[in-house]
Amino acid sequence: MTDSFAPAPTAKPHIRKPDLSILIVAYNSAALIAACIGAIADGTRDHIVEVLMVDNGDGATEAMIKRDFPHVRIIPSRGNIGFAAGNNLLASHARANRLLLLNPDMVLLPGAIDALMRGAERHPEAGAWGGVTVDPGGRPDAGNAIAMPSLIEFASVAMGRSRIGSAPLKGIDRDMPVEVLIGGFVMFARTAWDEANGLDERYFLYCEEVDLFHRLQQKGYAFWRICDAYGRHEAAHGNHLSPMRLLYRAAGTMEFMRAHWSLPARAMSAGLIWIAAVERYCAGKLFGAGRPHLQQLGDGYRHVALRPQFWLSGYDRQRGLMARLAHGPIAE
């Protein structure tokens, strides 16, 4: 007798929703992004993560990721749309209830993701959690000492030294509430991200995370730096004192003040930013011979000092002017 029993159709495997979506906005990052993505597996042993990437650059990074990291979800590029718009695009495709913004030059140390997730459980009232960032030598860097823009800070820079940046880093050895977390290694609660509508796309490169933290703070959210979550910042996207970087930074700061400050406060701050740039430019010209760092400092601030029209109105009206000056905007 022939057995007429037909086997049941094979059930579709259950795909669990990820605990965390990791968002990476790349720009000509093929030389360094492999270390970033390669470290993610050691960053977590206890959680399911998905990795999403968009290439704002020339396409070489996307091609490399397709070849070497097929598990990464590549979101089709829309050109060089900037850091804010790139992350918003990735977030619209993310499936998890927590979003980790990760720069391609940030390498997570073992256990960093699990530590962030534990920190979120310890501080559930927060809207965002970030880790401790270290330089290639393992020393905590300036990414751990970011504060909201203020007249006091601008005045201290104009007088020669940043009050925030030169202060000793405190609280590295314990969880600590902070005003701002570094945008290249920060995890947001999806509810907080959605309530704020993500990053403001008026910002092209700098100050977008400061703006988001300001808006979330106004909604009552706190932000915590988690002491046992470490990321090594390779800072491999070029010289932090390049003239175009500093020009974009000044424009981003002005964009923030246009959005949130009164006209008198903006005017005073713009004057202080310009004075600080002129001081550094003149110091490089007058005393830079034989002092490479001072010469580099002066050269870096030349656009901010000599072309204030390129940054005084922020990004909104000056993007085309800056793009022509740079022969195409940078993106990292």
- Distance between CA atoms of residues 24 and 102, nearest Å: 5
Return the pLDDT at 233: 87
43's tokens: 């960053």
Q: How far out from the chain centre does Cα 312 lie?
A: 23
Return the pLDDT at 101: 98
Is the CB of residue 22 less than 8 Å from the CB of residue 49? Answer: yes
Return the pLDDT at 198: 97
Residue 284: pLDDT band with limits 50, 70, 90? very high
Return the pLDDT at 49: 97
What is the percentage of the chain residues whose pLDDT exceeds 70? 86
Return the pLDDT at 327: 44
Question: How many C-beta neighbours within 10 Å does residue 284 have?
Answer: 22
Residue 277 reports pLDDT greater than 90: yes
Question: How would CATH label the architecture of 20-233?
Answer: Alpha-Beta Complex (3.90)
Q: What is the pLDDT of residues 124-145, one digit of tens each?
A: 999 999 999 998 888 888 788 8
- Distance between CA atoms of residues 32 and 61, nearest Å: 10
Residue 73: pLDDT band with limits 50, 70, 90? very high
Lowest mean pLDDT among 40-49, 247-256, 290-299, 313-322: 313-322
Place of tokens 């993610």: 40
Residue 163 reports pLDDT greater than 70: no
- Average the pLDDT over 2-22 and give the result: 58
Is the CB of residue 122 less than 8 Å from the CB of residue 175? Answer: yes
Residue 11: pLDDT band with limits 50, 70, 90? very low
If you average pLDDT over every residue of the chain, what do you get?
86
Over the range 166-191, which residues count as b (16 or more CB within 10 Å of their CB) and which as e?
Answer: eeeeeeeeebeebebbbbbbbbbbee
- Average the pLDDT over 214-223 and give the result: 96
Return the pLDDT at 322: 47
- Average the pLDDT over 49-54 and give the result: 97
Return the pLDDT at 141: 83
Lowest mean pLDDT among 24-33, 164-173, 227-236, 286-295: 164-173
Domain boundaries, the chain: 20-233, 243-326
Residue 204: pLDDT band with limits 50, 70, 90? confident
Q: What is the pLDDT of residues 98-130, one digit of tens each?
A: 999 999 999 999 999 999 999 999 999 999 999
- Average the pLDDT over 79-102 and give the result: 95
More confident of the two residues 244 and 35: 35
pLDDT winner (highest mean) among 163-172, 200-209, 256-265: 256-265
Residue 328 reports pLDDT greater than 90: no
DSSP 140: B
- Average the pLDDT over 91-98 and give the result: 97
Residue 320: pLDDT band with limits 50, 70, 90? low
- Rounded to 5 degrees, what angle do the CA atoms 164, 165, 171 make? 75
- Distance between CA atoms of residues 243 and 301, nearest Å: 6
Reported pTM: 0.86
Return the pLDDT at 318: 53
Q: Closest Cα to residue 180, out of 138, 152, 206, 144? A: 144
Question: How many C-beta neighbours within 10 Å does residue 121 have?
Answer: 8
Residue 280 reports pLDDT greater than 60: yes
